[in-house]
C-alpha cells in the first residue's frame, strides 16, 4: 500500500492512524525502524530465547540424551560390595559317644558371636546377544526423533509468534480505522443536524446518521476487545507486551518458487517427517533388542569375600575366599513372554511405518493449504487496493451529489461504510499475507531461527549429547545441577 501509519504511539505503545481521511496501516511497508522499536524479527528472537514451551521442549531432548549412556551400561563392568554384621547366639548339640549302658551321649555347646564380613562382586558381560549394541542405536534414533520434535515446537513458536505480532498490528489498524470512522460519522451527523435545522433534510436522515454513529462506536469497542486479546496472546508467546511495533515483512524470498518444489522439500526436511522416520529406525532396533532375549549370554564373574565369626557363630573363626568364573546362560523356554515381546515389537514397527506415511500425507496437505492461503492473500491485497481507491472515489462523488440534493444521507453513510469495510479488508489481507508466508515456510520445515537470520545464539542440542553419551559416572548435569 502507499499509505503508512503515523509514528505517534498510543499509551499502549502501538501505532495510530493519521487523522483526517482514514489511512490504512501499511503492514507490509518497509518503513524505517525507530529507536527502541520492536520489529518482527526481534520479537521472534525473544520468543526463541525465552518461550517456556520451547525451553521445555529442549529440556525434553536433554532428558532423552541420557538414554544413550543407560544403554551403554549393558556392556560396562558392574561392581558392588555387600557387608553384613550382627549378633548371633548358637546352642549346639552334637554326638559324644555312648555310655556304659549303650545310650548315646551328646555334648552341648553355647556360643555368642558377632558374625561380620564383606563381599566384593564383579561382573563383566562378554556377549549379550547384541542387546547392548542395538539398544545404543535405538537410543540414538530416539534422540534424533526428539530433536526433530523440538524443531516442530520451534517452528510452532516462531509461526505463532509471527501470527501474534501481525494480529496486534492488524487489530491496532482496525481499531484506529473504526475510531476515525466515529469522528467522520460524528461530523456527518453534525452536518445532517444543521441541514435539518434549515429544513434541507428530514428527521429520518438525522436518525440514520445517529444510528451509524452508534453502530460505529459498538464496532470500535469490539475492536478494542479484540486488540486486548491479541496483546495477551503476544505477551504469552513473546514474553512482553508489544511496544512500537514496526510493519512486518513477508518471508516469501525464502520460499521455493513453485508448489511442487515446496512439496519436494517438505517431504524430506519437515521435522514431522524426520521424526517419524527416526521412530521407524528405533522400532526396527526394538525388534532386534527383543530378539536378543533368545540369544545366549556370556559373562565373567569374580567374587572376593572375607568373613569373621561366620562358622557356626564360633568367635575367632575367619573365612577368606576368592572366586572367578565364566557363566554361560542359554535360554531354552521362559514361559513365552520373550516371544510375545518380539511379536509386539514387530507390530509397533508396522505402526511406526504407517505413522511415517501419515506424516508425509499430512505435511503435503499442509503445504498445499498454506500455499493456497498465501496466493489468496496476495490476490486479495491487489483487489483490496483497487477496492479502496474505488470506494474513496465513490464516497467523494456521493458527497458532492448529496450537496445538490441528488443523494440522500443514507447514500453518504453507505458509501462511508463501504470505504471503511474496504480498508479493513485490505488490512486483514496484508496481515494474512505475512502470516501465510510464515505458514508456508513452516510447512516445508524451514521455519527456524537460522533460516530467518535472527539475532540469537542458536541452540545446539548436540553439545549436551556429546557431554553425556559416554559418561561413566557422576550425578551432576553438564550445567552443574
What CATH number is given to the structural domain containing 144?
1.20.1600.10
| CA–CA dist 54, 29 (Å, integer) | 30
For residues 279 and 426, state if they share a domain.
yes
- DSSP secondary structure string, 223-252? HHHHHHHHHHHHHHHHSS---SBPPP---G
What confidence tens digit (pLDDT) does each residue in 405-424 have?
788 888 888 898 899 999 99
Where does 404-446 have alpha helices with state H? 409-443
Residues 176 and 287 placed together within one structural domain of the fold: yes
Each residue of 73-119: pLDDT tens digit? Answer: 989 999 999 998 888 777 777 787 787 777 888 777 777 778 888 99
- All cell numbers assigned to 396: 467523494
- Give the pLDDT of residue 476: 79
At 25 the pLDDT is 46
Q: Which of 330, 353, 374 is the last residue of a domain?
A: 330
Task: Examine the domain organization and report whether 281 and 157 are in the same domain.
Answer: yes
Q: Do 237 and 113 share a structural domain? A: no
pLDDT at 313: 58
What range does the domain containing 340 cover?
40-76+130-295+335-468
Same domain, 264 and 392: yes
Asked whether residue 82 falls in the same domain as residue 187, the answer is no
Q: Does 146 share its domain with 115?
A: no
Positions in the chain whose pLDDT score sits under 70: 1-36, 310-314
Answer yes or no: is 228 within a domain: yes
**Residue 169 sits in the same domain as residue 62:** yes
Given this model, what pLDDT does residue 1 score?
A: 36
Does residue 26 belong to any structural domain of this protein? no
User: Is there a single domain that holds both residue 308 and residue 403?
Assistant: no
CA distance 173 to 423: 10
- Residues 187, 430, 171: CA angle, nearest 5 degrees: 55
Establish if 208 belongs to a structural domain.
yes
Cell numbers describing residue 437: 508466508
Q: What's the CATH number where 308 sits?
A: 2.20.200
DSSP label of 12 = T
In a domain, 253, yes or no: yes
Answer yes or no: do 386 and 407 share one domain: yes
**In whole angstroms, how far apart are CA 399 and each of 19, 25, 105, 339?**
19, 25, 136, 86
311 shares its domain with 341:
no
pLDDT at 23: 40
355 found inside a domain:
yes
Residue 449 maps to a domain:
yes
pTM above 0.75, yes or no: yes
Q: Are residues 266 and 248 in the same domain?
A: yes
Among 283, 311, 330, the domain-final residue is: 330
In a domain, 18, yes or no: no
Q: How many CB atoms lie within 10 A of CB 468?
A: 16
Task: Tally the domains of the chain.
Answer: 2
Amino acid at each position: 500500500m502507499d499509505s503508512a501509519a503515523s509514528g505517534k504511539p498510543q499509551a499502549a505503545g502501538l501505532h495510530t492512524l493519521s487523522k483526517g481521511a482514514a489511512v490504512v496501516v501499511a503492514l507490509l511497508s518497509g518503513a524505517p525502524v525507530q529507536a527502541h522499536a520492536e520489529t518482527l524479527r526481534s520479537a521472534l528472537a525473544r520468543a526463541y530465547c525465552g518461550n517456556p514451551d520451547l525451553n521445555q521442549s529442549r529440556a525434553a531432548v536433554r532428558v532423552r540424551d541420557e538414554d544413550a549412556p543407560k544403554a551403554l551400561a549393558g556392556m560396562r563392568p558392574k561392581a558392588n560390595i555387600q557387608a553384613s554384621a550382627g549378633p548371633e547366639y548358637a546352642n549346639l548339640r552334637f554326638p559324644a559317644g555312648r555310655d556304659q549302658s549303650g545310650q548315646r551321649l551328646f555334648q552341648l555347646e553355647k556360643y555368642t558371636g558377632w558374625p561380620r564380613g564383606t563381599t566384593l562382586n564383579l561382573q563383566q558381560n562378554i556377549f549379550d546377544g547384541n542387546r547392548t549394541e542395538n539398544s545404543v542405536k535405538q537410543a540414538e534414533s530416539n534422540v534424533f526423533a526428539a530433536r526433530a520434535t523440538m524443531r516442530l515446537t520451534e517452528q510452532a513458536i516462531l509461526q505463532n509468534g509471527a501470527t501474534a505480532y501481525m494480529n496486534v498490528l492488524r487489530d491496532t489498524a482496525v481499531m484506529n480505522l473504526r475510531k476515525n470512522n466515529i469522528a467522520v460519522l460524528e461530523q456527518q451527523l453534525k452536518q445532517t443536524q444543521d441541514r435539518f435545522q434549515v429544513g434541507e433534510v428530514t428527521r429520518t436522515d438525522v436518525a440514520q446518521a445517529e444510528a451509524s454513529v452508534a453502530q460505529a462506536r459498538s464496532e470500535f469497542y469490539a475492536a478494542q476487545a479484540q486488540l486486548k486479546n491479541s496483546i495477551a496472546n503476544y505477551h504469552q508467546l513473546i514474553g512482553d507486551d508489544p511496544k512500537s511495533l514496526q510493519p512486518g515483512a513477508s518471508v516469501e524470498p525464502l520460499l521455493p518458487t513453485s508448489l511442487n518444489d515446496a512439496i519436494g522439500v517438505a517431504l524430506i526436511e519437515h521435522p514431522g517427517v524426520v521424526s517419524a522416520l527416526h521412530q521407524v529406525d528405533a522400532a526396527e532396533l526394538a525388534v532386534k533388542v527383543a530378539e536378543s532375549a533368545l540369544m545366549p549370554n556370556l559373562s565373567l564373574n569374580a567374587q572376593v569375600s572375607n568373613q569373621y565369626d561366620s562358622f557356626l557363630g564360633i568367635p575367632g573363626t575367619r573365612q577368606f575366599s576368592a572366586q572367578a568364573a565364566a557363566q554361560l546362560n542359554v535360554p531354552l523356554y521362559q514361559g513365552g513372554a520373550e516371544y510375545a515381546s518380539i511379536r509386539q515389537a514387530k507390530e509397533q514397527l508396522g505402526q511406526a511405518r504407517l505413522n511415517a506415511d501419515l506424516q508425509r500425507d499430512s505435511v503435503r496437505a499442509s503445504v498445499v493449504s498454506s500455499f493456497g492461503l498465501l496466493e489468496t492473500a496476495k490476490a486479495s491485497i491487489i483487489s483490496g487496493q483497487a477496492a479502496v481507491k474505488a470506494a474513496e472515489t465513490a464516497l467523494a462523488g456521493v458527497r458532492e451529489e448529496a450537496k445538490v440534493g441528488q443523494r440522500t444521507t443514507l447514500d453518504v453513510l453507505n458509501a462511508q461504510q463501504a470505504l471503511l469495510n474496504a480498508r479493513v479488508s485490505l488490512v486483514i489481507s496484508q496481515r494474512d499475507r505475512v502470516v501465510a508466508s510464515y505458514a508456508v515456510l513452516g510447512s516445508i520445515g524451514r521455519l527456524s531461527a537460522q533460516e530467518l537470520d535472527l539475532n540469537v545464539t542458536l541452540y545446539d542440542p548436540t553439545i549436551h549429547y556429546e557431554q553425556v553419551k559416554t559418561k561413566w559416572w557422576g550425578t551432576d548435569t553438564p550445567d552443574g545441577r
